[in-house]
Amino acid sequence: MAVEIIILAAGKGKRMHSDLPKVLHTIGGKPILQHLLETTRKLKPHRTHIVVGYGKDQVIESIESQFSNSTPAPEITPEINWVEQKEQRGTAHAVIQALPYIDTNATVLILNGDVPLISLQTLKKISRPGNKLNLLTSKMLDPTGLGRIIRNNKNQITGISEEKDASDQQKKITEVNTNCLSVKADYLSRWLPRISCKNAQKEYYLTDVIACAFEDNIEIVGIASNCVTETSGVNSKADLGKLERLYQARQADRIMASGVTLLDSSRFDLRGSCQFGTDCVVDINVILEGNVKIGNRVLIGPNTLIRNATIGDNCVIESNSVIDNAIIGNNCNIGPFARIRPETVLNDEVRIGNFVEIKKSSIGNKSKVNHLSYVGDSEVGKNVNIGAGVITCNYDGADKHQTIIGNDVFIGSDSQLIAPLEIGDGATVGAGSTITNNIQKNALGVSRARQTSIDNWKRPVRTGQKHTVVKKTRRNFKN
């Protein structure tokens, strides 16, 4: 029997205090709804129907772009049928909008769109086909705000009471509804028209199908969740923050299980995917975003951000560095306080020092840019030494231009290289030069005002009277 999924994602999420639809708030750098879809697609459902309402165009565009831009591509791209709920009149009303698109012989798995951490194992248990209703429940120490599971004296589930409609005795029940159930589509077609909105919220509750099933002698199977947090929804920024930390703890455990040393697993964030080699050490407050690949024996210092980058073996990334959409070779040393910007390639044994920025450039083997320099739109050869304060002036106010530096070149400190420019192999640029013309192979390029020395020079000495005038001027200025 085919399984079809309905995901309820129409609400704004008023308690989020945000214009962004609730299901688009992120955990681990991905929308909440995407996390759920990445899990449900592994069930290989016939189709997934997502009921949208508030911000529907934004939700559709975001989720479709997330899957189309996934790298690597998802193993199973979900076939999504977007269904609009124009008026938010309750969860049963939302399911009614999707029901016409579903095969009457299918088993329907219904989920809220704000449960990003639910496991595949749990979904497999719930979505088992049969002439019964499967309901996922959970035991909560504090069930405040949640629907209570009502059982009779035979311990059979007979219904669900939402908190606003619950009696004082029912509010003491700690077994709660998780808003996750599965049942045959033809049963839903039979029960949903019987549901009324005569309740505290004047809404059509999907939970009322439990009472319908009991009345029709359909077996209701309560399946207890093994992990309370996997069924936790997001209704506030506080909820979002708690689930973020739970998600990151899972990520850290998985990474450490593969052999990576995290010096403090509670201060590590992975917002995407990462592949580590052996014997890597990651210090505190490191953030990995997008798709990151890290080689063997890599040391990553504290407060470092690495985004969509590949890092070779035996590299050291010093503290407070940023590596963004770049490729780093083997045996490189970067930082501290270095910024490697997109489309940069560092070859083997490159040294990028403190407060250095590299943008859209390739740096050859064993070259060094050690201090306070900017290299942009450049091709730098092997064994090049770029001194402190060197700038490649690549932008003329309208267009970017390229600087090409050959092998074995020495660029003296505090020099400006005005692109477009080529500096030949073995050339030297004298410190403090502004280079506007190409420098040939093995040549010296220098552009400075000639130094003048005056013998027996005496510095001016300020007289007492002048000093008094200055003080008076300053006093008058302050007044």
Contact 270, 282 (CB under 8 A): no
Q: How far, in Å, are 34, 300, 306, 309 from residue 343 at the CA level? A: 28, 21, 14, 10
Question: How far is Cα 382 from Cα 384, in angstroms, rounded to an integer?
Answer: 6
3-class DSSP state for residue 231?
A: helix
The per-type count for the chain, helices as H runs and strands as E runs, is 8, 39
Give every CB contact of residue 163 below 8 A, 6+ residues apart in sequence: 144, 145, 146, 147, 148, 171
Q: Please give the Cα distance from 449 to 101 (Å, whole number).
A: 80
Catalytic residue among 25, 371, 401, 467: 371
CA atoms within 13 A on the CB side of 335: 22
CB atoms within 10 A of CB 184: 20
Q: How many CB atoms lie within 10 A of CB 101?
A: 12
For CA atoms 161, 167, 170, 176, the dihedral sign is positive
401 in catalytic set:
no
Provide φ and ψ at 401, rounded to 5°: -130, 160
| Enzyme catalytic residues | 371
